[in-house]
Chain A
């Protein structure tokens, strides 16, 4: 499935490993949260990067204790209308200080890309058959934001324009 990073299609260096199949020891691999819970000890000596995939109903606190074991957390959107993932990412960043990659997977729309980015996602696995151009355009469609968000290039929130020191010129 096409990977989008920083508003562009990107090469995916990660492999998603279905439950029950062997986890390759030499390449970055993403396993399910359920598998992690069941087999965590088997990953004790692993030297290669490990990622974990959370189902829509698995919220940030469930993985909080183990975050230092993962270089990537994939947050699944079962349906684009199910917005829990936005809070999951934000919690991972703001509440648990997670600094690794957060990837949106599942049913997400280009129209949500800006929101994904602003809640702390670093990459998106776009659904198959998606129009990549819509994803590329999505970040530049709306340039004005009103409240603080996440992401290193998140613009100055509009509400701050009332602070003289940070006044933004239109």
Chain B
């Protein structure tokens, strides 16, 4: 559907607040008046709830879930507001607003999370209504970013751009977003519920670590369908998601999810918060019994009420029309020349670019992991400049990755060198995507009341130790993930090297695991020995890297070497000296 036909349709309202043509921003779902009315009503409802709480009509116990459903957490030192970024995609208008809020109400920066959301860690309770009001101006909110409901759906950060894409996951992520908004039946689940969806064969969304992981695919007839995994999750009892159904036809996409959620809502444990996630239900029932329950429920769900008509899917797909990509030659002489002339740029190009489906374009990952920096943090100044760059080079669109980085998804190869220079000028040209410096870390004891140990200083120490970009590149793909406690928000279980903060008689210590994997070959890492101090943890990582380099064969990644030679050599070298 063309942009003109799109707006001429009386049933589909045109773009709103942005005051721009739909094509100005690539692939972004635009709110219409009804979406806006919903958010405005919810903001209003929340301010009334605050009033009722203050009047004593709601107890703190009763108010808490309502506050959480509006994204407001109480952390160690202050309130934290977690803002929803549906499947991680933002317009530059929204991005600038986030920068402004960071400047006005926080300390001049924001923090991107592993849920592709943005957190402000220093919020005053009394400012929240104003912040929510400002967010609503740019069609944003903080709804369902916490609480025991279906959370923000995440997907591949390269969605709609990647050369290997089979199905555009945004369409189905958006359908799920709408389907699960204020769902009357599933807002008081036993526990939080996280869904990820992926539309290509390479799993960039850690599908099998989610409560529900979906892989969108096509069959031989060209029809779209979905493979459902259920019961993955990290936390204190990590489980890898189990296959519940290989093929769910498109029209049953929502119905199947509805069936899973209904089984969970009825039979999930509510007596123990640590056993309330769906992974425990799946584990205790066994996948076969669980599957049978879901299939029975699914078979009985009334149709056509739960059927996703092709017109609905098409209507939503039309909102993700491709940006105005030019027809370009596949190779860019300018890009090649710049690489030949500038070794830093060449390295960044090798490490931070991914293949775009359109010739002459590339996908750019912007690392928020400078050596010695705080993973996922970005200052308001950097945000403003990045927004300008996205407007100029990438159709006014910025994505958030679950690795706490950002993505400009559609950049002409001809423009890459200019873009890189300008990123470099604001400290955002770190060439380490997927490398040892690209560390995922939870907020840890610096912010989080549940933490045993700090995550951030350790991440900073590791990235400082491996600061040399040439060495990082030589080491190759290696993912370090750090959690400050067993709740595993930093996904340490699936880090190639995972680090867990523990409390040893009041001292912060770190337990190291190796061999974890977050992709479809999901594996939970192995503990290599007793917990160590922060300094020793950094040394241990250095030692493990050396062993890997000494043992690897041509083209072998860290994870491959571990799988081939086993964990023994790594354990021995670290603990031998004791």
Once A87-B262, A115-B187 are accepted as A-B contacts, the answer to whether A146 and B65 lie under 8 Å apart by CB is no
Chain A residue numbers with a CB within 8 Å of B52 are 131, 134
Chain B residue numbers with a CB within 8 Å of A59 are 266
Across the interface, name the chain A residue whose C-beta is closest to B39.
A144
Is B10 a contact partner of A80 (Cβ separation < 8 A)? no
User: Quick one: which of A94, A117, A162 has the most chain B CB within 10 A?
Assistant: A162
Give Cα A111–Cα B162 distance, bound, in whole angstroms. 43
Which residues A68-121 have CB closer than 8 A to chain B? 80-84, 86-88, 90-91, 94-95, 109, 111-112, 114-119
Give Cα A163–Cα B304 distance, bound, in whole angstroms. 14
Interface residues in A, total, Cβ within 8 A = 45
A144 to chain B, nearest CB (A): 4
A162 contacts which of B179, B182, B305, B312 (Cβ < 8 Å)?
B312
B270 to chain A, nearest CB (A): 6
Once A86-B265, A159-B175 are accepted as A-B contacts, the answer to whether A111 and B311 lie under 8 Å apart by CB is no
Is B183 a contact partner of A164 (Cβ separation < 8 A)? no
Give Cα A80–Cα B297 distance, bound, in whole angstroms. 25
Chain B residue numbers with a CB within 8 Å of A117 are 184
Across the interface, name the chain A residue whose C-beta is closest to B315.
A162
Is A134 a contact partner of B57 (Cβ separation < 8 A)? yes
Across the interface, name the chain B residue whose C-beta is closest to A80.
B62
Is A144 a contact partner of B41 (Cβ separation < 8 A)? yes
Which residues B186-216 have CB closer than 8 A to chain A? 186-189
Give Cα A170–Cα B175 distance, bound, in whole angstroms. 19
Is A142 a contact partner of B182 (Cβ separation < 8 A)? yes
Is B300 a contact partner of A95 (Cβ separation < 8 A)? yes
Chain A residue numbers with a CB within 8 Å of B306 are 148
Is A159 a contact partner of B179 (Cβ separation < 8 A)? yes
Q: Does A17 interact with chain B (Cβ within 8 Å)?
A: no
| Segment among B30-38, B336-344, B435-443 that sits at the interface with chain A | B30-38
B569 to chain A, nearest CB (A): 49
B485 to chain A, nearest CB (A): 23
Is A164 a contact partner of B311 (Cβ separation < 8 A)? yes
Is A115 a contact partner of B185 (Cβ separation < 8 A)? yes
Chain A residue numbers with a CB within 8 Å of B535 are none
Chain B residue numbers with a CB within 8 Å of A161 are 11-12, 32, 34, 315
Q: Does B566 interact with chain A (Cβ within 8 Å)?
A: no
Q: Does B42 interact with chain A (Cβ within 8 Å)?
A: yes
B41 contacts which of A94, A95, A143, A159 (Cβ < 8 Å)?
A143
Q: Does B178 interact with chain A (Cβ within 8 Å)?
A: yes
Give Cα A119–Cα B38 distance, bound, in whole angstroms. 19
Number of A-B contacts (CB under 8 A): 134
User: Quick one: which of A114, A119, A170 has the most chain B CB within 10 A?
Assistant: A170
A129 to chain B, nearest CB (A): 10
Chain B residue numbers with a CB within 8 Å of A169 are 10-11
Once A87-B266, A109-B62 are accepted as A-B contacts, the answer to whether A163 and B12 lie under 8 Å apart by CB is no
**Quick one: CB contact mask for B303-345 with A, threshold 8 Å, 1 for yes?**
0011001011011100000000000000000000000000000
Which residues B1-28 have CB closer than 8 A to chain A? 9-13
Which residues A122-143 have CB closer than 8 A to chain B? 131, 134, 137, 141-143
Is B178 a contact partner of A148 (Cβ separation < 8 A)? no
Q: Does A167 interact with chain B (Cβ within 8 Å)?
A: yes
Q: Does B467 interact with chain A (Cβ within 8 Å)?
A: no
Give Cα A170–Cα B33 distance, bound, in whole angstroms. 5
Is B65 a contact partner of A81 (Cβ separation < 8 A)? yes
Chain B residue numbers with a CB within 8 Å of A82 are 188, 270
A163 contacts which of B13, B62, B184, B309 (Cβ < 8 Å)?
B309
Q: Does A2 interact with chain B (Cβ within 8 Å)?
A: no
Across the interface, name the chain B residue whose C-beta is closest to A158.
B34
Once A147-B183, A162-B12 are accepted as A-B contacts, the answer to whether A84 and B266 lie under 8 Å apart by CB is yes
Chain B residue numbers with a CB within 8 Å of A27 are none
Is B186 a contact partner of A83 (Cβ separation < 8 A)? yes
Across the interface, name the chain B residue whose C-beta is closest to A79.
B270
| Segment among B43-51, B217-225, B385-393, B557-565 that sits at the interface with chain A | B43-51
Once A94-B302, A167-B11 are accepted as A-B contacts, the answer to whether A159 and B266 lie under 8 Å apart by CB is no
Chain A residue numbers with a CB within 8 Å of B13 are 170
Q: Does A160 interact with chain B (Cβ within 8 Å)?
A: yes
Is B41 a contact partner of A141 (Cβ separation < 8 A)? yes
**Quick one: CB contact mask for B378-410 with A, threshold 8 Å, 1 for yes?**
000000000000000000000000000000000
A40 to chain B, nearest CB (A): 24
Q: Does A149 interact with chain B (Cβ within 8 Å)?
A: yes
B137 to chain A, nearest CB (A): 17
Once A143-B41, A148-B305, A159-B178 are accepted as A-B contacts, the answer to whether A81 and B33 lie under 8 Å apart by CB is no
Is B312 a contact partner of A143 (Cβ separation < 8 A)? no
Q: Does A10 interact with chain B (Cβ within 8 Å)?
A: no
Is B182 a contact partner of A145 (Cβ separation < 8 A)? yes
Is B45 a contact partner of A142 (Cβ separation < 8 A)? yes
B290 to chain A, nearest CB (A): 16
List 8 other contacts, CB 8 Å, given A87-B265, A159-B178. A82-B188, A83-B265, A86-B184, A114-B184, A141-B45, A160-B312, A161-B12, A164-B11
19 A-B pairs with CB atoms under 8 Å apart are: A81-B65, A82-B188, A83-B188, A84-B266, A86-B187, A87-B266, A90-B185, A111-B66, A115-B184, A142-B182, A146-B180, A149-B184, A158-B178, A159-B178, A163-B309, A163-B311, A163-B315, A164-B9, A168-B11
**Residue positions of B touching A, CB distance < 8 A:** 9-13, 32-35, 37-38, 41-42, 44-45, 48-49, 52, 57-58, 62, 65-66, 148, 175, 178-189, 254, 262, 265-266, 270, 297, 300-302, 305-306, 309, 311-312, 314-316
7 closest residue pairs by CB, A with B: A167-B11, A162-B315, A83-B188, A170-B33, A118-B184, A144-B38, A115-B184
